[in-house]
């Protein structure tokens, strides 16, 4: 075990104050703020750091646009941090800062870093679900929630010019596992010390979607909440605060079973509330989704035009010969 999640996401933004208000309304816990920097945290200890896009301290990379400008992966021990640093530094420059963080560019020019991370344990208490013939809650109503309060950062997503080369680097050099592949679309990757279906999604920057322009960009970050109620309480609160509404609305991905709710984010890309996703370990057999849209979602409140025709029910399992060496 080595990488156990995201220690922090460092954003480069146009308006720190406005973005700070967004993430406060979204439910993150403010740690500190100033004209040029804001820091938030979640229960698990991961941080969101907002810095001015003009801040010379942000790493130079291939990324264009606003959004996350560096992913700091959390490593469980000093010795594993040293081993991963050795692995990365064999063919590229790494820099060590005064806080012990090791910075580098992954293949594809994606800015990343490694740092020892003391992830805090968290406990959730989602309400039992009733269904006809399956009564799990009697004489008991569901919790009345007031606000969403994300507890964890579950994944981060970028577009890449060659997502295949980036996922090969992440697997071969940093021990990531392939969870699923969407043919032509992207790769879902899990850190070896985490059990989220994916911690990193790399999407093909050349996909024919409106926000894709062939350039490597930040796409979205996912913040984990307890259940569907917390998602929608959060979404309603964001609407009351005047933030832009979701395009898709509430939906459920098929590929990781997770409920989703994407909100346009002034810090760049989208901020996603997520819950009830699949958790997996090294026993998981990765799948290949040859019909990528079949994996995309099982339902969405606002169905996009490309979903008017139901996609073909089609997927296969990744053959072991196609796995990276440590997954064979």
Question: CB nearest Fe ion: which residue?
Answer: 222
Q: Which is nearer to Fe ion, 4 or 259 (CB)?
A: 259
Q: Is 186 exposed, middle or buried (0-12, 13-18, 19+ CB in 10 A)?
A: buried
Q: Which is nearer to Fe ion, 76 or 256 (CB)?
A: 256
Residues binding Fe ion (CB under 5 A): 222, 272
Nearer to Fe ion, 66 or 222 (CB): 222
The alpha carbon dihedral of 318, 322, 326, 328 has a sign of: positive
Min dist CB 159 to Fe ion, Å, is 13
CA 17 distance to own-chain centroid: 23
Report in angstroms how near the CB of residue 323 gets to Fe ion at its nearest.
24
The Cα 305–Cα 56 span in angstroms is 42
Quote the least distance from Cβ 319 to Fe ion, whole Å.
27
Between 216 and 224, name the residue whose CB sits nearer to Fe ion: 224
Of 156 and 171, the one with the shorter C-beta distance to Fe ion is 156
Residue number with CB closer to Fe ion (230 or 272):
272
* CB 155 to Fe ion: min, Å: 6
Nearer to Fe ion by Cβ, of 130 and 257: the residue is 257
Residue 253 beta carbon to Fe ion: minimum distance, rounded to whole angstroms? 8
Q: What is the 3-state secondary structure (H, E, C) of the chain?
A: CCEEEEEEEEEEECCHHHHHHHHHHHCCEEEEECCCEEEEECCCCCEEEEEECCCCCCCCCCCCCCEEEEEEEEECCHHHHHHHHHHHCCCCCCEECCCCCEEEEEHHHEEEEEEECCCCCCCCCCCCCCECCECCCCCCCCCCCCCCCCCEEEEEEEEECCHHHHHHHHHHHHCCEEEEEECCCEEEEECCCCCECCCEEEEECCCCCCCCCCCCCEEEEEEECCCHHHHHHHHHHHHHCCCCCCCCCCEECCCCCCEEEEEECCCCCEEEEEECCCECCCCCCCEEECCHHHHHCCEECCCCHHHCCCCCCCCEECCHHHCCHHHC
Tokens of residue 103, six digits? 């910075």
Minimum separation from the CB atom of position 133 to Fe ion (A): 33
Q: Which is nearer to Fe ion, 80 or 275 (CB)?
A: 275
CB of 12 to Fe ion, least distance (A): 20
Question: CB 254 → Fe ion: shortest distance, Å?
Answer: 13
């Amino acid at each position: 075990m080595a990488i156990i999640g995201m220690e922090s996401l460092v954003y480069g933004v146009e308006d720190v104050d406005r973005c700070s208000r967004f993430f406060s309304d979204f439910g993150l816990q403010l740690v500190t703020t100033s004209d040029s920097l804001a820091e938030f945290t979640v229960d698990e200890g991961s941080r969101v750091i907002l810095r001015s896009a003009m801040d010379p301290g942000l790493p130079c990379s291939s990324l264009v646009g606003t959004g996350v400008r560096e992913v700091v992966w959390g490593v469980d021990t000093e010795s594993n941090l040293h081993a991963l640093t050795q692995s990365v530094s064999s063919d590229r420059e790494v820099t060590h800062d005064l806080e012990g963080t090791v910075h580098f560019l992954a293949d594809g020019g994606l800015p990343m870093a490694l740092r020892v991370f003391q992830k805090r344990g968290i406990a959730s208490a989602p309400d039992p679900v009733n269904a006809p013939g399956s009564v799990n809650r009697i004489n008991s109503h569901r919790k009345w929630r007031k606000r969403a309060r994300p507890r964890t950062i579950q994944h981060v997503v970028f577009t890449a010019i060659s997502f295949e080369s980036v996922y090969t680097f992440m697997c071969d050099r940093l021990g990531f596992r392939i969870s699923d592949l969407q043919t032509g679309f992207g790769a879902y990757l899990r850190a070896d010390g985490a059990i989220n279906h994916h911690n990193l999604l790399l999407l093909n920057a050349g996909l024919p979607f409106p926000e894709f322009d062939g350039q490597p960009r930040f796409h979205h970050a996912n913040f984990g909440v307890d259940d569907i109620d917390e998602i929608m309480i959060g979404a309603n609160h964001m609407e009351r605060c005047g933030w832009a509404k979701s395009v898709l609305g509430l939906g459920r991905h098929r590929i990781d079973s997770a409920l989703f709710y994407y909100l346009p984010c002034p810090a760049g890309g989208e901020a996603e509330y997520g819950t009830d996703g699949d958790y997996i370990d090294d026993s998981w057999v990765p799948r290949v989704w040859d019909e990528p849209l079949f994996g995309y979602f099982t339902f969405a409140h606002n169905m996009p035009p490309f979903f008017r025709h139901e996609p073909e029910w089609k997927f296969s399992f990744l053959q072991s010969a196609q796995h990276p060496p440590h997954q064979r």
